[in-house]
Amino acid sequence: MDIYFKTKKLQKACSEEKEMRKQLGTKCAEKLKQRMMELKAADSLFDISHLPPCRCHELTGKRAGQFSVDLENPYRLLFLPANDPIPLLIEGGIDRKRVNEIEIIEISDTH
C-alpha cells in the first residue's frame, strides 16, 4: 500500500526509530514500527485485520471516514484513504478492497 503523511514531522515520527522512541516511548514505538510494516506490506486496506491486535476500524462521528489501528493503549494511528476518488461500495461506505493509498494524519488518544 502507498503511504503518505499529513506533515513532515509526522513522517519523521513514523519512519525514524530514534524519533519514534523520543516521541512515543519504547513500547509504543515498537507497535508503531510493526503497524507501519503491516500497512506497507498490505495490498489494500482490506488486508489489515479488523481483529486484535491491529484492530483496523473505521471511526464514526466527527471522525467519520477516518480509520485507526491500535498502538500501545491508549494511542492509535489514524489515517484516511488517499485514493482519488475514494472507492465506495454500491450500498454505501468505503470499499476497503480497493483502498491502496492512505494518508496518515495523526497519532493520538481518540477516547
Topology of domain 2-108, CATH: YaeB-like fold (3.30.2310)
The residue-averaged pLDDT of 68-84 equals 95
pLDDT in tens, 30-40: 999 999 999 99
pTM of the predicted model over 0.95: no
Q: What is the DSSP string of 69-104?
A: EE-STT-EEEEEE--SSPPB-TTSSB-GGG--EEEE
pLDDT in tens, 10-23: 999 999 999 999 99
- Is the pLDDT at 81 greater than 90? The verdict is yes
Query: pLDDT grade, residue 4 (50/70/90)?
Result: very high
- Going from N- to C-terminal start, the domains of the chain cover 2-108
Phi/psi at 98 (5° precision): -105, 0
Query: pLDDT grade, residue 110 (50/70/90)?
Result: confident
Query: pLDDT grade, residue 109 (50/70/90)?
Result: confident
Q: What is the DSSP string of 15-30?
A: H-HHHHHHHH-HHHHH
The residue-averaged pLDDT of 54-82 equals 94
**What's the angle, vertex CA 100, arms to CA 98 and CA 23, rounded to 5?**
140
CB 67 within 8 A of CB 45: yes
